[in-house]
Chain A
Amino acid sequence: MASSQASRANHVLNTVVNAVAPWVNPVIDYHALAPEMVLAAGLCVVLLADLFMDESRKWILSSLAGFTLLGAMLPVLTLGLHDTDVRSMFDGRYVVDNFSLVVKALFLLAGYVVVLLSSNHVEEDEYWRGEYYFLLLSSILGMVMISSSRDLVSIFVALEFLSIPAYMLAAWRKRDIKSNEAGVKYFLLGVFASAVMLYGMSLLYGVANSTLLVDLGKSITATGSLSSLHALGIVFVIVGFAFKVSAVPFHTWAPDTYEGAPAPITAFLSVASKAAGFIALATLLFVAFPQASDVWQPFIWVLSALTMTVGNVVALRQTNIVRMIAYSSVSQGGFVLMPLAVAGINNGGASALRAVVVYMLIYAATNLGMFGVIIAVSRKTRSAEISSWGGLFSYAPGLGALATIFLASLAGIPPLGGWVGKFAAFQSMLTSVSGWGYSLALIGAVNSVVAFGYYGSVMREIWMKPVPDGDTTPIRIPGSLKLALVFTAATTLVLGILPGVAMHFGDIARLTSAFGG
């Protein structure tokens, strides 16, 4: 007994030594890592600048943050234009391919728009602190990382990297009870969800003996059939990301947090953070579990159907615009999940992934724009009640029209962007040629009509209702907000009228090491 113990310990030691023995310095492709590095440098600069600058000049921080994000875009562009398609590092644990580049660009631009939305909002708020941009950049850095991660460890680290600053940002308005509550709820549930996910990861590691996603995939193929541990692990991991993308029934934090958090952060959470969740989920599904589609497809099918339906149905009842958009974004999440539910059938993976990316691109632009309008309107009304939007068009036609564009895009009405996303999703559903696909597509179709109920009610408020307090002074919109609105609106329109652009990005965003390439 003892000897066997000893020999076992020896064996362990040996393996450890053996594993360490061929240690070589990993080759680091600095070009590939340049976006992350620019971001990291930028956030340090922001932090230091905050320390050493006096109050009156701190407005420059937002510009710094903005330039950092745009600066990080440069290497993304050069990487994209460079011939090398795939840059793999650390034995394939960190991969920069077209997929990650497209998604990185999405995160960076979304982050930039959030910075634009934030600048005046945060400055005029009493909670003005330099750390705000620092945290925001950190979170974005986490997202940028997650898009390249192909290993459980790096995914986990990146996920926490993006989440932890987000918890703090949600509770940003320190003396506001609602903001506290938003932060605490988000935090506790987020941590709980990631704990559950970690438990799932540990099980997966146990059966695959590797944290590398590709190896996970291979282990599933190798064992031939799926063990219960596999199934449990996969479900728990998906739950972690389902929380992140606020899929029903893991959505409960979303409305509360969205309502309590500062508006730009809500925009950030509902767009970038959610996108990060989808991206990681897609990476896992396509790289790690492609053979386990029997497990996750029904699960995601149910999640998608529930998410669309419950999100919509509850959104119909909302009187608070932010809460309504929160539920609407829950529902939109269901549409993103939709193609994933049939991704394994009939080689639907490629079109499902494309649909996810396209949907996220367009949804990001539209939802950010919508939040821009919400921020602009609340500058005047100081309220988030939908009824306070009455007659918006009569005194702020520009904002009214923009809100209409964004709402219509969310509702999926051509030629505004949203329809392209929905179209791609439906197309992917039908590619599967399966009962699963058709039935979910039908649910989706019904939901897309129902959704108009609440989007329409806001439009109605804007166009057809009288101004509630009779105050028709026009709304002054600061420059940065204006820029954000124009940028998002233009994107929404262009992607809607030239869907080829969105589709193109969706198509080049092929996951390396998935679908055999």
Chain B
Amino acid sequence: MEMLRDENWVLSVGTFLPMVGVLLLLIVPKANDQLIKMVALFTSIATLAVGVFTLFKFNFDQAGSMQFVAENKWIPLIKSSYFIGVDGISLPMYVLSMVITLLVVIYSLNHIPSPGNPKAFFILMLVLQTGMAGTFIAQDLILFFVFFELVLLPMYFMIGVWGGENRQYASLKFFLYTMFGSALMLVAFLALFFKTGAESFAIPYLVENGGAIARNVQIWIFAGMFIGFAVKVPMFPFHTWLPDAHTQAPTQGSVILAAILLKLGTYGFIRIAIPILPEAAKAWAPYIGGLAVIGIIYGALGCLAQTDMKRLIAFSSVAHMGYVMLGVSTLTDFGMSAAMFGMVAHGLITGMLFFLAGSIKERYHTLEISRLGGLLTQMPRMGWILGMASMASLGLPGLAGFWGEFPAILSAYNPADGLNVTVFRVYMVIAALGTVLAAAYLLWLFQRVAFGEPKAEFAGGAHGADDHGSGHGHSQFEDVNKFEWIAWTPLLIAIVVFGVVPNLLFSMIDPAVHGILAGFKG
């Protein structure tokens, strides 16, 4: 693969800029809330600016090639290097992580969850940003692993400290699950390293040489990676950490988790597992696809059983990531592109839904669906935004969600050569059934939360549930406020724009996906 090495400082700067913010934050006194917020805000703006700069400098005509490639010695002894670069697959996720972080920071400006301490909160968020961005640019397995793990602790603390009542259980569960997966993943990486002659951990090198590994060895190595990534995605049956983590996490944590963290898993499949081990990928694909469609149906059923709005949205992630994984499992360029699009779309949409859940919780102090109702009467704008997000989530054409879902289903009709067509067609039908269930739970949610009249306990305004509601003790609840507008508008716009002009993304993803699947051609 051709490597473009122009302006190769860009990625490093973009990735590590948040760490500069962290250092600045460390010296800001804890009491100076305003300054802390400003530092965090400007750091994330600056980071995004670098990201946008990257976007402008990116050569879209060669989206299939690695660009801004930088390669430096890192751990020469184990032949691991600081090797970074982006192509059409990495770039959208890389920039998305920056956008989401900025929006979350903006949202946090007046939504620091209990027990406060914005300094620590923002520091964790910025560390998280470095980890996420780094994972998407790493072109070396060890570097990838380090970044992949870097996101773990901040998220653990974010859930564990700023989370809901059951936060400790949830955070530990999240952590142990992921640790378990990544331990096996690391073992798989090492096995890969040795089986390709212990020459290099660089992904391009492994892609070239991974195919030569004996098939049954490939299958075992793939198994290790599979568990590592599947936990993160999360795929059925490794998903049980997700609802707890989402339910307990603070809004910001949920948004980042849904929008970016889950994608680390699918990204790992697309970037690492499949191109390096094509034979194993073929052997595993039917099972991955099977688990994916089980996830679709199962997640949807899980949603229908929920009484808590946030938990419902969390379960819907299981279903949506099922579509992504179905696309991946077809091993076709079409399916992969669909999966990539699905990742971005799910990030935007579910992120939005979690923002909404957070804001609703903040106002009503509950997310029990049975206690909510009449959102449209009390906060019409928020209600309609919820409606739009739900519609996008259930895959309405013209909104971003559709382009993740429909092509994924489409791709299952014609999986790659060598895969069992009948099996995948069955998957296709099941996945299509999933769209119906998706409509069911999302609209049901919307109907119960937004329609109807507000329940008696909230009908009088903010005096209902909380006893410290002096902050907004008007007779009405406060509709979407300015911080929320600023944080949400870009998401909403992106959902529509990507829905109407999907080519914005596809043109970027497509050439890169071809490169990923090059191993299957020969």
Contacts and interface: CB of A to CB of B under 8 A. Distances in A.
B511 interface: no
B500 to A, nearest CB: 40
Nearest to A506: B77
A449 B146 contact: no
A414 B145 contact: yes
Interface in A469-517: 498-500, 503-504, 506-507
Interface residues of A, number: 37
B304 interface: no
Interface in B2-40: 30
Nearest to B159: A464
Contacts of B335: none
Interface stretch (A43-51, A65-73, A427-435): A427-435
A92 interface: no
A456 B156 CA distance: 10
B456 interface: no
B160 A413 contact: no
A111 B516 CA distance: 52
B167 A397 contact: no
A507 B459 CA distance: 71
B190 A414 contact: no
A70 B153 CA distance: 35
Contacts of A453: 176
Interface residues on B, range: 35 or more
A452 B75 CA distance: 26
A464 to B, nearest CB: 5
A449 B176 contact: yes
B496 interface: no
Contact of B78 (A446, A448, A503): A503
B179 A397 contact: no
A397 B30 contact: yes
A464 B167 CA distance: 9
A427 B78 CA distance: 9
Contact of B160 (A394, A430, A445, A463): A463
Contacts of A456: 156, 172, 175-176
A307 interface: no
B473 to A, nearest CB: 29
Contacts of A460: 160, 168, 171-172
B360 to A, nearest CB: 25
Contacts of B176: 449, 452-453, 456
A244 interface: no
Given A354-B77, A413-B149, A500-B74, A430 B187 contact: yes
Contacts of B168: 460, 464
A423 interface: yes
Contacts of A397: 30, 117, 119-120
B146 A445 contact: no
A415 B146 contact: yes
A445 B156 CA distance: 20
B471 interface: no
B187 A464 contact: no
A167 to B, nearest CB: 38
A393 interface: yes
B482 interface: no
Contacts of B175: 452, 456
A404 interface: yes
A428 to B, nearest CB: 10
Interface string A410-440: 0001110001000110110011010000000
A364 interface: no
A441 interface: yes
Interface string A270-301: 00000000000000000000000000000000
B145 A464 contact: no
A449 B78 CA distance: 24
B40 to A, nearest CB: 16
Given A449-B176, A464-B168, A499 B75 contact: yes
A415 B161 contact: no
Interface of A: 354, 393-394, 397, 404, 408, 413-415, 419, 423-424, 426-427, 430-431, 433, 441-442, 445-446, 448-449, 452-453, 456, 459-460, 463-464, 498-500, 503-504, 506-507
21 contacts: A413-B153, A413-B179, A415-B146, A415-B150, A419-B149, A423-B142, A424-B78, A427-B190, A430-B194, A445-B183, A445-B186, A448-B183, A449-B180, A456-B172, A456-B176, A459-B156, A464-B160, A464-B168, A499-B74, A499-B80, A500-B75
Interface of B: 30, 73-78, 80, 115, 117, 119-120, 142, 145-150, 152-153, 156-157, 160-161, 167-168, 171-172, 175-176, 179-180, 183-184, 186-187, 190-191, 193-194, 198
Given A426-B186, A453-B176, 8 more contacts: A413-B149, A415-B146, A445-B184, A449-B179, A463-B157, A464-B171, A499-B74, A504-B76
